[in-house]
Each structure stands twice: as structure tokens, then as C-alpha cells.
């Protein structure tokens, strides 16, 4: 099965994607993580992508679509994957659907985390992530604190802030999200594969709540 995570920056889709990836033993593919890794390693792709990412804009479709198609062609994703941060435009969604039909026609489910913008801004400016890319755990200095400040609970690595997690860039990213998301959400709704959650981000158990709702939904819907 392919699980497509939809939701604005800060909606918690990355954290939920990681949990679902463990639960269903599916590879978690985050286009944002792949771009950040390329930026860190100063690859050609990283240099190009950073011109857009640092401004809160989308990386152009041609770069992004090729990247995802290559990743989805690898052996470890033949049973499906969790797609986090892709598709973000209708064109990406159409290209993904074509790719899945032609290469690996297994079931697709889209999960939308629907959260008010003001909550998202608060979440993103307080977000910190694990610097160890094998781990990549996500914390929040207000809502999901690590046990020890600045240190990852899971692997002990240093926690860092993403360069694009500042108030100005997050407002730009939210605008970009709203410009594109309506069409994508409609797209998956029309395909009858959309499952929408309205998480209460102030609840201590928001992640567990999201996870159990998605599991319940998948139990009903997924046949292969
Ligand atoms: P967030 O959901 O918090 O914005 P991501 O890690 O998913 O964070 O993405 C970070 C940045 O990477 C985005 O703002 C965008 O510039 C770029 N990016 C990620 N995925 C895509 C995509 N599918 N298409 C275009 N740009 C993307
Ligand atoms: Zn870690």
C-alpha cells in the first residue's frame, strides 16, 4: 500500500509518517528530508533545491518528480511506501498516479491532517529535529519536549532547528500550501481514497490519537 500524507507544514505529518512506517513496515519517503540531505552534502540537486527551499517556495516539479520516481523504483519499496511531502501539486499527483499504475499497481490511501493556520505557525517556530538523519525524530519545545533539552530521546544526538522553520518562511510556506492543497485534496477525494483527521495539537496524546484513527481506517479500507 502507498500512504500519502497530506497536511500543511507543522501539521505533524512527518511524525505520524514515521509511526506508520514502523507499524506497517513501509519505507518512509520524505522529499523534504531528501532535499535537506542533498543541501547538507552540497550536491547539484541540493544547490538547486536550496534556492527555492530557503525562500519557502516549492522546488520545481521536474526535479521533484524525477527524484521520487527514482526512489520508488528501488527494491525496498515494492510493497509500497509512506509518501510525506509528495505530491504537493496536482501535476505531481497525476505523475505519481501514472507511475503507480504502470509500475506497481497497489492500493493508495491519502491521509489529511487538517489544522488551523495559527496553530501551525506556533508549532513550526518551536520545532526542533534530530541531527542524526538515520533517526530524524521531531520534537517541539512547547508541545513535545525532549526529556533532556537539546538532546534526542531516541538516539542521544543533538537537536537542531531547520533553517526554514522561522516565522517569515513558515507564513510563505503556508501560503504555498493553501495555493496548491485545495486541488490535491479534491483530487484524492474524487478518487475516494481521502481520510481526513482534525487533530487537537494541544492534546498530549495527539500522535497516539492520530495513529489509532488511521489504523482503524486502514483496517476497514485496505485489502492488499
Ligand atoms: P514542511 O512540510 O514543513 O514544509 P518538508 O520537509 O516537507 O516541510 O519540505 C521542506 C521544503 O522542501 C518545502 O518548503 C519545499 O521547498 C521543498 N519540498 C518538499 N517536498 C516538495 C515537493 N513535493 N515539491 C516541491 N517542493 C518540495
Ligand atoms: Zn535521534
Instruction: Provide the terminal-to-terminal Cα distance of the chain, rounded to the nearest Å.
Output: 7
87 Cα: distance to centroid of ligand 1 (angstroms): 10
Identify the CA nearest to 32 among candidates 190, 143, 181, 173: 173
User: 84 - beta bridge partners?
Assistant: 5, 30
Quick one: pLDDT at residue 223? 64
Quick one: pLDDT at residue 204? 83
Sequential DSSP letters for 137-183: -EEETTTB--SSTTB-TTT-PBEE--TT-SHHHHHHHHHHHHHHHHH
Q: Is 190 helix (H, G, I), strand (E, B) or coil?
A: helix
Question: Above 80 in pLDDT, residue 224?
Answer: no
Quick one: pLDDT at residue 184? 96
Question: Above 70 in pLDDT, residue 5?
Answer: yes
| Residues contacting residue 221 through CB under 8 Å, at least 6 positions apart | 109, 195
Average confidence score pLDDT of the chain: 94
- Which position has the grid cell 505557525? 121
Q: What is the pLDDT of residues 128-143, one digit of tens each?
A: 999 998 999 999 998 8
221 Cα: distance to centroid of ligand 1 (angstroms): 28
Q: What is the pLDDT of residues 169-212, one digit of tens each?
A: 999 999 999 999 999 999 999 999 999 999 998 888 999 999 99
pTM attached to this predicted model: 0.91
> Ligand 1 in contact with 59 (CB < 6 A)?
yes
Quick one: pLDDT at residue 201? 85
Percent of the residues in the chain that have a pLDDT greater than 70, as a whole number: 99
> Ligand 1 in contact with 32 (CB < 6 A)?
yes
pLDDT band of 118, cuts 50, 70, 90: confident
Active site residues: 13, 88, 127, 162, 173
Question: Above 90 in pLDDT, residue 42?
Answer: yes
Nearest ligand by distance to the CA of 151 = 2
Once rounded to an integer, what is the mean pLDDT over residues 90-99? 96
Q: How many CA atoms lie within 13 A of 122 on its CB side?
A: 10
223 Cα: distance to centroid of ligand 1 (angstroms): 31
Identify the CA nearest to 106 among candidates 80, 72, 87, 82: 80
Question: Above 60 in pLDDT, residue 105?
Answer: yes
pLDDT band of 89, cuts 50, 70, 90: very high
> Ligand 1 in contact with 58 (CB < 6 A)?
yes
Q: Who has greater pLDDT, 201 or 97?
A: 97
Q: What is the pLDDT of residues 14-26, one digit of tens each?
A: 999 999 999 999 9
Quick one: pLDDT at residue 202? 84
As a whole number of angstroms, the distance between CA 210 and CA 86 comes to: 20
Question: CB of 84 within 8 A of CB of 17?
Answer: yes
Quick one: pLDDT at residue 152? 98
Nearest ligand by distance to the CA of 155 = 2
- Which position has the grid cell 542521544? 156
Q: What is the pLDDT of residues 153-173, one digit of tens each?
A: 999 999 999 999 999 999 999
Question: CB of 112 within 8 A of CB of 195?
Answer: yes
Amino acid at each position: 500500500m502507498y500512504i500519502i500524507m497530506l497536511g500543511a507544514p507543522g501539521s505533524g505529518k512527518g511524525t505520524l509518517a514515521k509511526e506508520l512506517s514502523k507499524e506497517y513496515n513501509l519505507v518512509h519517503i520524505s522529499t523534504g528530508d531528501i532535499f535537506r540531505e542533498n543541501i547538507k552534502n552540497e550536491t547539484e540537486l541540493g544547490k538547486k533545491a536550496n534556492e527555492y527551499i530557503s525562500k519557502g517556495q516549492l522546488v520545481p516539479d521536474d526535479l521533484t518528480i524525477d527524484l521520487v520516481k527514482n526512489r520508488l523504483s528501488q527494491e525496498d519499496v515494492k510493497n509500497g511506501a509512506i509518501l510525506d511531502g509528495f505530491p504537493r501539486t496536482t501535476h505531481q499527483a497525476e505523475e505519481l498516479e501514472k507511475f503507480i499504475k504502470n509500475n506497481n499497481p497497489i492500493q493508495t490511501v491519502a491521509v489529511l491532517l487538517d489544522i488551523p493556520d495559527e496553530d501551525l505557525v506556533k508549532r513550526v517556530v518551536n520545532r526542533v529535529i534530530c541531527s542524526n538523519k538515520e533517526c530524524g525524530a521531531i520534537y517541539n519545545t512547547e508541545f513535545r519536549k525532549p526529556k533532556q533539552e537539546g538532546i534526542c530521546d531516541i538516539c542521544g544526538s543533538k537537536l537542531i532547528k531547520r533553517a526554514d522553520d522561522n516565522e517569515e518562511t513558515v507564513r510563505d510556506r503556508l501560503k504555498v500550501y493553501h495555493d496548491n492543497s485545495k486541488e490535491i485534496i479534491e483530487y484524492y477525494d474524487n478518487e475516494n481514497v481521502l481520510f481526513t483527521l482534525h487533530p487537537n495539537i494541544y492534546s498530549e496524546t495527539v500522535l497516539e490519537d492520530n495513529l489509532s484513527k488511521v489504523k482503524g481506517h486502514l483496517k476497514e479500507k485496505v485489502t492488499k
